Amino acid sequence: MTHGPEEREEGHAGSHGQHWDLGGRWDLAPSVSEAWRFRRLHSERDQSVGAFARTAWISARVPGSVHLDLIEAGVLKDPNFALNSFEAEWVSARQWVYRRALEVDAPEGGRLTLCFDGVDFEADVYLDGQLLGGVAGTHTPARFDVSFLDRRAPHLLAVVLHEPPPEHGQLGRTSETRTLKPRYGYWWDFATRLVHVGLWRDVRLEWDEGAAITDVNPRVTLTDDFTHATVDVEVDVHGDPDVVVTAELRHPNGTTERVAGRDLRFEIPEPALWWPHDLGDQPLYEVTAFVSGARPVTKRFGVRRVRLVHNEASRERGARPYTLEVNGVSVYARGYNIVPTDLIPGRRGVPAKERALAELVRFSHANLLRFNGVGYAASNAWLDACDELGVMVWQEMPLSSSGTDNVPPPLKMFEAQVRRDVPPLVRHVRSHPCVVLFGAGNELTDEHRRPADESNETIALICTLISNTDGTRPFLPTSPSGPSYEMHPEARPEDLHDIHGGWHYRGVHDSYEMHARNRALVHSEFGCQAPSRSATLRKYLTHPWPMTDANPEVVHHGEWWLMAHRVEEVFGEVGDLDTYVHVGQAAQGDVLRHALTWNRSRQEECSAALVWQLGEPWPNAHNTSVVDYDLKPKLAYYRCKEANAPVAIHLGMTAPVGEESVTLRPRLLGAEGELTFEVFDLSGAKRQEGTVDGDLTVHLLDTPVLLRLRHEDRLAEQWLARDRPHPFAALVTAPGTTLEVTRQGDRLTVRNTGGTVAPYVMIEATGDGPERFSDNGFHLLPGEARAVESSPAASVRLRAFNASWVTSPWEAE
């Protein structure tokens, strides 16, 4: 957890030893190569006046990030804005010196240990000018015995960060990767180049009487009938190996029990089982381990069993088992891929933002998040939220594909890093019940672009280390795990096991037809781009229009995802930013709903469907996220929510266009029941209606028609048009209509008060911070109203393709 200086405790004393939190305010200075050594910044507190300018220190925050400290000191402009990130690239070409005074009011005798929970990415630690040793790895701790410290004197603690390793960006060579530093900051399609450096995890000083607990692992074993659990508490002790360890178990109902000795075991009859949110509750247990004279360590955990099992299709194809099974119940996994929340992990508010994103995940009925190997391991904020909200986590190691080759680094060049950094990363996540699956990395292949497996010696070692450190969760060597890498027209169904793609909006045929043909057992990554909200674009870009490659800022904020040419192919010429954002987000939403429901309709063979991606770490002009940088859900978020709902309607179409008609095969997902349909023209006149019985043929007009499928209170809507240039242009140029909104508590009522259909009604909260509505991006017939729940209750504005913005008459609360 990251704190400001005013939020941190400087020390804590109790019956179990003492510890001092060394977070808060430090001093920070850059160094070109080892200029710091020449200037003795690691050993001398003051510099005399002379020919060499004295070092100008700035205030830093630990845990934190060098970039953020420079921004807050006024040295850097915030790289989120316009082209500012270009001016920040020098930061990773420096070494950085953190230092602070250290005074310890500790008892004489005993043992003092200086503890680091990880750095980004490598540093040397000095105390009064003497090298204590090195620390490296984002999640790899280091401990230094400093019992020799004079308890009555002030000391100088200095941490010198090396330049970050020279890893490749997205268009490089995985085979030349030499560290497990997350590579997303070296430039990726969803982020600019901003190579993070910082003393980004906790630093503390501990006093004990000769033994200390460094880790606790509650290893849970369940009987086959799930009526009895055994919890073996594995405790890592630093120091006296014969010290007596006591463990206390706190049950979800608050009762506690204790055991002591070498074998720390608890038997739990009729345990409270942890479930994904769509299957049950999320009770959490807590175990605390104690040794005399040292601080206790607590871990929270859940009781559950998770496996990968075969469905009939995976068994028939000779594939791996891909269906997640939790407590004996097979789960259809639906959710998102996750990338880091911010390019600057230490930015204030990131933990709260991650909690808000996790709540958006659950609200959209998703149950699995894939923490992609391009980024960091899931943070404590993410893990705690997913434990509590019942959202499962697939955690990959920080190893990822590249554009030139995706081949894992040769073991002889990589083994030391893997052995050092994989076990602590696994220890970081393993007590969390939400973590259900491990992977060696993202999109790893052989030299022929075939997905790699455990026959690769680097992947085999990662698998072994994960098994030795955890051993309770299934493992996949990479995703996609093949044998085909991605969906393509020539792929045979028997080769479509775990696949990726597509990602781009390619109009009304290619964006849709691939998903109707898909036969994958797992579709673990697919997406479609859209622009961010217009208010977000205006906040971060000085010139957000036009949204083409003629605009340098638009290119800089997402050069892989430009879509104006595709938007105009489908919707005709668009002349302003708000309309462009609106139609782009509508297109993304329609494609993702289409892909999700096609995958879900194949549950007898498909085990999971994960959208690329939930959020973004940097404000993009165009991106495949469904929630933009400012926590503003795009319209696609609501189509994902619709497709993943317990009961959803699958349209069963190949594409939203046809010659004289479009034939669909709609069906209800998650329930049995009757579907009815209605078809309306742009004036709101009804052209067809009836009950769905097998194939449904919708007759097309010269202008698009609106198909509505209904089951009880569930509604799915889709515009259909004749296959011609600019097939949906008439939705943008339709005669204007007007909207009004009223509110009663958290409920909004949105009404079309004009005389034509209002396509794609878009509602936005006008203030900052997270927002969510029960629905968005729907269509209103003339005179029709729709009730929408709003959280939090806020001032809103809304528009449709053919209706100008209208702002609510009330103020935000």
d(CA 261, CA 232): 12
**In a domain? residue 229:** yes
Note if the bond before 63 is cis, omega within 30 degrees: yes
Q: Give the list of residues 6+ apart from residue 695 with CB closer than 8 angstroms, or none.
A: 663, 664, 665
Looking at the DSSP assignment, which residues form a beta bridge with residue 438? 395, 475
**In a domain? residue 425:** no
Query: Beta strand 686-691 with 661-664: parallel, antiparallel or unpaired?
Result: unpaired
**In a domain? residue 679:** yes
Q: Count how many Cα atoms sit within 13 Å of the Cα of residue 694 in the half-sphere of its side chain.
A: 0
Q: Mark whether 138 and 164 lie in a shared domain.
A: yes
Report pLDDT for 31: 97
Report pLDDT for 51: 84
d(CA 326, CA 392): 10
**In a domain? residue 318:** no
3-state secondary structure of 122: strand
In CATH, what number is assigned to the domain containing residue 681? 2.60.40
Q: Mark whether 812 and 694 lie in a shared domain.
A: no
Nearest to 70 by CA among 194, 201, 202, 204: 194
Report pLDDT for 813: 59
**Final residue before a domain boundary, out of 682, 717, 752:** 717
Do residues 438 and 467 lie in contact, with contact meaning Cβ atoms separated by under 8 Å? no
In CATH, what number is assigned to the domain containing residue 203? 2.60.120.260
Do residues 730 and 682 lie in contact, with contact meaning Cβ atoms separated by under 8 Å? yes
Q: Mark whether 253 and 182 lie in a shared domain.
A: no
Report pLDDT for 48: 87
Do residues 55 and 46 lie in contact, with contact meaning Cβ atoms separated by under 8 Å? no
pLDDT along the chain (813 residues), means of 10: 35 58 97 95 90 92 98 97 98 97 88 97 97 97 95 94 96 96 97 97 95 97 98 96 95 97 95 98 98 95 98 96 98 98 95 98 98 97 98 98 94 96 98 98 95 97 98 97 85 89 96 95 97 97 98 98 98 97 98 98 97 98 98 98 98 98 97 97 98 97 98 96 98 97 95 97 91 96 97 90 94 65
Note if the bond before 552 is cis, omega within 30 degrees: no
What is the distance, to the nearest Å, from the Cα of residue 626 to the centroid of all Cα atoms in its chain? 11
Q: Count how many Cα atoms sit within 13 Å of the Cα of residue 317 in the half-sphere of its side chain.
A: 25
Which helix or strand (DSSP H or E) is residue 36 part of? helix 35-38
Report pLDDT for 204: 96
**Final residue before a domain boundary, out of 624, 646, 668:** 646
Nearest to 625 by CA among 358, 616, 505: 616
In CATH, what number is assigned to the domain containing residue 746? 2.60.40.10
**In a domain? residue 451:** no
Q: Mark whether 608 and 695 lie in a shared domain.
A: no
3-state secondary structure of 148: coil
d(CA 440, CA 453): 9
Q: Mark whether 144 and 268 lie in a shared domain.
A: no
Q: Give the list of residues 6+ apart from residue 255 with CB closer than 8 angstroms, or none.
A: none
Report pLDDT for 793: 77
Distances (CA, A) of 2 to 57, 118, 398, 567: 22, 13, 22, 42
Structure tokens at 253: 């109902």
Domain count, the chain: 5
Q: Mark whether 186 and 45 lie in a shared domain.
A: yes
Q: Mark whether 636 and 655 lie in a shared domain.
A: no
Q: Mark whether 658 and 573 lie in a shared domain.
A: no
Distances (CA, A) of 17 to 234, 249, 645, 702, 781: 21, 21, 50, 80, 69
Q: Mark whether 43 and 187 lie in a shared domain.
A: yes
Q: Mark whether 685 and 655 lie in a shared domain.
A: yes
In CATH, what number is assigned to the domain containing residue 640? 3.20.20.80
**Final residue before a domain boundary, out of 176, 207, 238:** 207
d(CA 197, CA 190): 19
Do residues 370 and 333 lie in contact, with contact meaning Cβ atoms separated by under 8 Å? no
Q: Mark whether 248 and 191 lie in a shared domain.
A: no
**In a domain? residue 468:** no
**In a domain? residue 810:** yes
Do residues 412 and 296 lie in contact, with contact meaning Cβ atoms separated by under 8 Å? no
Q: Mark whether 200 and 214 lie in a shared domain.
A: no
Which amino acid type is present at position 128?
D
**In a domain? residue 625:** yes
Do residues 237 and 51 lie in contact, with contact meaning Cβ atoms separated by under 8 Å? no
Its domain, for residue 60, covers: 5-207
Report pLDDT for 367: 98
